[in-house]
Structure 1
Amino acid sequence: MKLVLLGYMASGKSTVGRLLARHLDVKFIDLDEYIEAHQKKSIKNIFSEHGEIFFRKLEHQLLSEVLDKDESIILSTGGGTPCYGNNMETILNKSDHSIYLNLGIPNLVERIVKGKDKRPLVKNIEDAELPEFVGKHLFERRPYYAKAKHILDCNGDDPDTTVNKIRSLL
């Protein structure tokens, strides 16, 4: 079984993915961590040294590599992964389940503010400007996320509740 979690930053993809993998006794892979291990440098440094085009090509290559492996996995993608190249088609064609962890702007902003210093994309954005920033991004990204086989409303849910919702889908 190959299950891919997608959604906006702070939607819980990595947290839920790790918990779900433990429950199902399968391997968990965070695509961003996989890319960093492959390149032996942070995503931030990959972007600054090689640019976004290089990163997106690498991201697609490694997404395909992970999904081509003959093993059961839970994969969490980066927030932008489904939105570039033909990554969403790759996810749909090479996974058994793709699940969009859908949260509204207020819930996302609340989560992002808590860990803002660890998120380069929003680190320098004032808290008051975050709702507009997130809203604009979601408007652009939702059409890609919405192609997932399952759309899961996660508003107000803790990670265990989300894991249980996913388990009931399988």
Structure 2
Amino acid sequence: MKIVLIGYMGSGKSTIGKLLAKKQNLPFKDLDQEIQIAEGMSISEIFSKKGEIYFRRVENETLKNLLALNEGFVLATGGGTPCYADSLDAMLNCADAVSVYLKTPLPILCDRLMNEKGVRPLLSHLNTREEMLEFVGIHLFERAHFYNQAEVIVETANDAPKEVVAKIVERLL
């Protein structure tokens, strides 16, 4: 089985993904890391040197290549992955994959992301919590249509990562 985690940045895809992979005895994969390995440069470098359109094309190809593998894993995607090209369709139409949306409330996302601005180039220009709330709120509104098509939707709220993993495992049974 392939478990594909989707959700906005800061929703816990990497943290939850690693714990879930361990619990399910599956390897953990991070789509951004796979792209960085394939391209030989960081995501920030790809954006600055080749642009977002190039990045989204490589992201889509890398996702499809992973989904075509004859092995199970837990995959943490980027926040925008299901929103571009036919990436969401690829996830939903992969017979041995299940998509899981980590649905995290806007205030919690903003609190987490305010603490991570330094490592998230998309957010570096946001100086106040109000700016963060507006920026993330707009993105969530735009992306909700894609995220909500996931086969499993897990409300994360203030749950500890282990509790979120337990919810996912329960829903996968």
TM-score range, shorter chain: over 0.9
Distance in 1 separating the partners of 2:104 and 2:69 = 30
TM-score for the superposition, normalised by structure 1: 0.98
How do 1:151-162 and structure 2 match up within 5 A? Answer: 151-162=153-164
Q: Which runs of 5 or more residues in structure 2 are unaligned?
A: none
How far does residue 14 in structure 1 lie from its aligned partner after superposition? Answer: 0.5
How far does residue 119 in structure 1 lie from its aligned partner after superposition? Answer: 0.7
Partner of 1:4: 4
Count of residue pairs the alignment pairs up: 170
How far does residue 123 in structure 1 lie from its aligned partner after superposition? Answer: 1.4
SS of residue matched to 2:51? helix
Q: How far does the alpha carbon of each residue in 1:105-163 deviate from its partner, in whole angstroms, 9 at most, with x for none? A: 10100111121111111012112310011100000001000010011110111111111
Partner of 2:19: 19
SS of residue matched to 1:142? helix
Partner of 2:99: 98
What is the root-mean-square deviation of aligned Cα atoms in Å?
0.8
Distance in 2 separating the partners of 1:99 and 1:132 = 25
Deviates more, 1:61-70 or 1:89-98: 89-98
Counterpart selection for 1:139 from 135, 138, 141: 141
Q: How far does the alpha carbon of each residue in 1:20-59 deviate from its partner, in whole angstroms, 9 at most, with x for none? A: 1011111110000110011110001001111111111111
Q: Would you identify which runs of 4 or more consecutive aligned residues in structure 1 move more than 4 Å?
A: none
Distance in 2 separating the partners of 1:118 and 1:88 = 26
How do 1:108-127 and structure 2 match up within 5 A? Answer: 108-127=109-128
SS of residue matched to 1:121? helix
How far does residue 96 in structure 1 lie from its aligned partner after superposition? Answer: 2.6
TM-score for the superposition, normalised by structure 2: 0.96
How far does residue 6 in structure 1 lie from its aligned partner after superposition? Answer: 0.2
Q: Counterpart of 1:60 in structure 2: which amino acid?
A: N
Distance in 1 separating the partners of 2:56 and 2:38 = 14
Partner of 2:79: 79
Q: Which runs of 5 or more residues in structure 1 are unaligned?
A: none
Deviates more, 1:121-130 or 1:73-82: 121-130
Partner of 1:51: 51
Distance in 1 separating the partners of 2:99 and 2:53 = 25
% identical aligned pairs? 44
